[in-house]
């Protein structure tokens, strides 16, 4: 009898837990607001205008998703290094901030279908010849902490490589512009935007670390919210709205692989 009562109690707890997780969508819709973590120092995905307004690809996608949920978007600027912590501590409901997917991250959060391209690469000054990880021996490479570039370079470069980690993209950009680092690991489109700021010393592509995709991140166990986010993204792909956003900010069309993936 004790065993049966224990089983019933555990089942009830599991049911309550599942209900609580699934109810996040209902809570968002009841409040009329979804809190979305976005970048503010990662142009062209997210930056701040002269009049302190957020702009960029991720900003427009966040508004698109909120519209699909039928609520207003509360945009919360989050540092790249702590965006997942913001999500897991429920300071935000979703991450739309150049978030890539890998096995480790999939253990702790869930991911929507992809919504934009994002290649992770090494860039640097013309004078330094680099064609692959081995050429980074005894070199210093700057990265934004906890990004894919940080994780993948850590796993692939020689032990003699010095990886300088900055707390956010602004720190990384400042370090390159000031000459503190001459090689950086970052996203292709971010580097192209940086090149516009430093035309005399623009970062040149050395090699692609990984061909990646941006996803919307959310906490585990929220199937209703996941379905609604994917529904919004699917509708924007079929209507061409998402392709228009990507072309506006990245000057390339939405890749077919992303455009035709609906889950």
Q: Which tens digit of pLDDT belongs to each residue from 22-37?
A: 468 999 999 999 999 9
Question: What does the radius of gyration of the chain's CA atoms come to, in whole angstroms?
Answer: 20
- Asked whether 100 and 185 are in contact (CB, 8 A), the reply is no
The more confidently predicted of residues 54 and 189 is 54
**Alpha carbon distances (Å) from 214 to 92, 117, 196, 248:** 18, 6, 23, 16
Q: Which residue has the higher pLDDT, 130 or 190?
A: 130
Compute φ and ψ for 213, nearest 5 degrees. Answer: -140, 150
Answer for the pair 19, 59: CB distance below 8 angstroms, yes or no: no
Cβ pair 215, 113 in contact under 8 A: yes
The answer to whether the CB of 91 falls within 8 A of the CB of 68 is no
What pTM was estimated for this model as a whole?
0.79
How deeply is 137 buried, as exposed, middle or buried, from its count of CB atoms within 10 A (0-12, 13-18, 19+)?
exposed
- For 76-93, b where at least 16 C-beta lie within 10 A, e where not — what string? bebbbbbbbebbeeeebb
Tokens describing residue 205: 């592509």
**pLDDT score at 9:** 42
Tokens encoding 191: 């580097």
The pLDDT tens digits of the residues spanning 123-180 come to 999 999 999 999 999 999 999 998 989 999 999 999 999 999 999 888 998 999 899 9
**H or E element that contains 124:** strand 109-124
The percentage of residues in the chain with a pLDDT greater than 90, rounded to a whole number, is 75
Confidence of residue 198 (pLDDT cuts 50, 70, 90): confident
* Average pLDDT rounded to a whole number, residues 83-97: 96
Residues 222 and 186: their CA atoms lie apart, in Å, by 31
């Amino acid at each position: 009898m004790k065993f049966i009562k224990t089983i019933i109690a555990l089942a009830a707890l599991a049911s309550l837990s599942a209900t609580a997780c699934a109810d996040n969508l209902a809570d968002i819709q009841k409040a009329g607001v979804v809190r979305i973590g976005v970048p503010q120092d990662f142009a062209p995905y997210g930056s701040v205008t002269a009049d302190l307004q957020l702009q960029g690809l991720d900003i427009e996608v966040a508004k698109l998703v909120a519209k699909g949920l039928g609520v207003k978007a509360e945009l919360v600027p989050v540092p790249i290094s702590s965006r997942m912590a913001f999500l897991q501590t429920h300071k935000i409901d979703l991450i739309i901030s150049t978030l890539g997917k890998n096995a480790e991250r999939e253990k702790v959060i869930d991911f929507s279908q992809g919504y934009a391209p994002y290649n992770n690469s090494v860039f640097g000054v013309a004078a330094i010849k680099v064609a692959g990880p081995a050429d980074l021996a005894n070199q210093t490479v700057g990265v934004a902490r906890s990004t894919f570039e940080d994780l993948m370079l850590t796993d692939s470069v020689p032990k003699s490589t010095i990886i300088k980690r900055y707390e956010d993209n602004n720190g990384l950009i400042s370090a390159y512009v000031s000459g503190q680092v001459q090689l950086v690991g970052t996203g292709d489109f971010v580097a192209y935007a940086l090149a516009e700021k430093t035309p005399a010393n623009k970062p040149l592509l050395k090699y692609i670390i990984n061909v990646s995709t941006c996803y919307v991140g959310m906490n585990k166990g929220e199937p209703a919210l996941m379905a609604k986010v994917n529904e919004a993204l699917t509708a924007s792909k079929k209507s061409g709205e998402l392709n228009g956003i990507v072309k506006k900010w990245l000057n390339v069309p939405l890749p077919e692989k992303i455009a035709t993936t609906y889950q």
